[in-house]
Amino acid sequence: MSNMFTWKLHGDGKKLNPGEVVDPDERMTWGRTAGIGAQHVIAMFGATFLVPILTGFDPSTTLFFTAMSTALFLLINKNELPSYLGSSFGFIAPIVAVTTAHKGIAVASFGIMVTGMLLALIGILVHFAGAKWIDIIMPPVVNGAIVAIIGFNLAPSVWNNFQKAPDTAAVTLVAVLLIAVLFKGLLGRLNILLGVLVGYAYACLRGQVDFAAVGRAAWIGFPHFHLPQVDFSVLPMFIPVVMVLIAENVGHVKSVAQMTGRNYDDHIGTALFADGLGTTIAGFGGGSGTTTYGENIGVMAATRVYSTAAYWCAAAFALILSLCPKFGAIINTIPAGVLGGVTTLLYGMIGMVGVRIWVDNHVDFGKPLNNMTAAVTMIIGIADFGFAVSGVKFNGIAIGTVAVLVMYHGLRAIGRATGAIAKDGTE
């Protein structure tokens, strides 16, 4: 265990020569390592805090559990796999559905906790049995469709926020888009955070921000924790989020492997388990579910520092900020117009993760089976089909998830039986 917290100093710890990288088991000087850790906090900040604001969770509690989950992730992966676990956007749709049904945040926490438990179990299975079975049950056309509808299903909520202050929403959206193409490197990668700041400043000038709660908040204090409330009827809305978390974690492991030149395939199971455990604990204590973050991949690419020591520093910074209620109160003042602008992009980006799964895996939509399966699922998710059975409500995401699995495997079996689809899967 002691060796786990020992990092070799890279060179003199003060500079990186061209072509050099700082490996996960290395570090720069502690001052520079702490600075890079702060960059990781800034990188995840914009996206992580939008989740509690959009769902009604406490920002400080959410930040507290991202710090705890990151520490768990690093420990479980023996300090070999660098990652920061921030708030997952995959949970926004089911949480919004639960709160819209007036069931309360505690019920949503139950859904988050169970989703984390399921992901942890999948992580254990993958660690000991490999990930092949996931591809068999959920091939890319199925997985991509499920991930896509989790994002696109949120489109109506974007418009609800956007129309509350169209001018502020437009300014925020334009700022987010322009910053991404006007600046290179880290600044360009922080377009969400910086765009929100631009929109927030505009909203302040327009008198759309209420600072009353900030004045009442204390400088130092514990976050607001709460226990989950058991309600099995919400689980059909939450369980599909597991697909998003699997895709994000596997993608993260593959990205880090490509950047560092190391083989991390044996860490896929432990990464899933660690994120599942972190999400379970967050759900139990009143935080939002967690996931690995692409924004932090961007920081590693920009700095060429893959040291896990930097992520411990990031977790420490996040923990300190979570113990400042006034900081959380400031975050809660972000108005609806700013949220409407930034989520126009963000929710679309969640949906595009599903599309990217199709592209990266070369899904052939010239085949009727793939085309029909994806088409029907997308309409179910975007239109938000819904019905209730014995008090259990199914929304577009839950129905779409069941539909895509039944359609793909059912139609494929019928096609093989009739000869319309060959045994090798071609049509």
36-78 pLDDT, tens digit each: 888 888 777 767 788 888 888 999 999 999 999 999 999 999 9
Average pLDDT over residues 269-273: 95
Average pLDDT over residues 142-155: 86
Q: How far apart are CA 65 and CA 51, in angstroms?
A: 13
**Residues in CB range of 370: below 8 A, 6 or more apart:** 141, 363, 364
pLDDT exceeding 70 applies to what percent of the chain? 96
Whether the pLDDT of residue 237 is over 80: the answer is: yes
Q: How far apart are CA 302 and CA 298, in angstroms?
A: 6
Q: How far apart are CA 369 and CA 139, in angstroms?
A: 12
pLDDT for position 392: 62
What kind and span of H or E run contains 106?
helix 105-129
pLDDT per residue as tens digits for the range 387-410 = 876 666 777 888 898 899 999 999
The neighbour count for residue 296, using CB atoms within 10 Å, is 26
The three-state secondary structure class of 131 is coil
- Which residue in the block uniquely carries the two structure tokens 């919400």? 234
184-188, 279-283, 362-366, 398-402: least confident range: 184-188
Instruction: Answer yes or no: are the C-beta atoms of 194 and 47 closer than 8 Å.
Output: no
Mean pLDDT of the residues in the chain = 88
Q: Compute the residue count for the chain.
A: 427
Average pLDDT over residues 114-119: 96
pLDDT bin (cut points 50, 70, 90) of residue 346 is confident
Whether the pLDDT of residue 156 is over 70: the answer is: yes
12-16, 73-77, 260-264, 385-389: least confident range: 385-389
pLDDT per residue as tens digits for the range 303-314 = 788 999 999 999
Between β-strands 387-389 and 392-394, what pairing exists: parallel, antiparallel or unpaired? antiparallel
The neighbour count for residue 393, using CB atoms within 10 Å, is 17
pLDDT for position 229: 95
C-alpha of 169 from chain center: 23
Beta bridge partners of 393: 388
Whether the pLDDT of residue 176 is over 80: the answer is: yes
Average pLDDT over residues 321-330: 91
Q: How far apart are CA 346 and CA 191, in angstroms?
A: 11
Q: How far apart are CA 249 and CA 239, in angstroms?
A: 16
The three-state secondary structure class of 25 is coil
Whether the pLDDT of residue 1 is over 80: the answer is: no
350-359: burial string, b at 16+ Cβ within 10 Å, e else: bbbbbbbbbe
pLDDT for position 294: 66
pLDDT for position 154: 81
Instruction: Answer yes or no: are the C-beta atoms of 107 and 294 closer than 8 Å.
Output: no
pLDDT for position 79: 92
What's the pTM value of the predicted model, to 2 decimals?
0.80
pLDDT for position 213: 87
pLDDT per residue as tens digits for the range 350-369 = 788 889 889 989 999 999 99
Average pLDDT over residues 122-149: 87
Average pLDDT over residues 177-204: 87
Average pLDDT over residues 111-119: 96
- Helix 191-205 to helix 336-360 angle (10° resolution) is 160
pLDDT bin (cut points 50, 70, 90) of residue 372 is very high
* Residue 412 burial by Cβ neighbours in a 10 Å radius (0-12, 13-18, 19+): middle
The three-state secondary structure class of 288 is coil
pLDDT for position 295: 67
pLDDT for position 38: 85
Q: How far apart are CA 333 and CA 94, in angstroms?
A: 23
Whether the pLDDT of residue 271 is over 80: the answer is: yes
pLDDT for position 349: 83
DSSP state of 305: B
Whether the pLDDT of residue 106 is over 90: the answer is: yes
Torsional class of 180: left (φ above 0), alpha (ψ -120 to 50), beta (otherwise): alpha
pLDDT for position 190: 76
pLDDT for position 35: 87
* Residue 35 burial by Cβ neighbours in a 10 Å radius (0-12, 13-18, 19+): middle
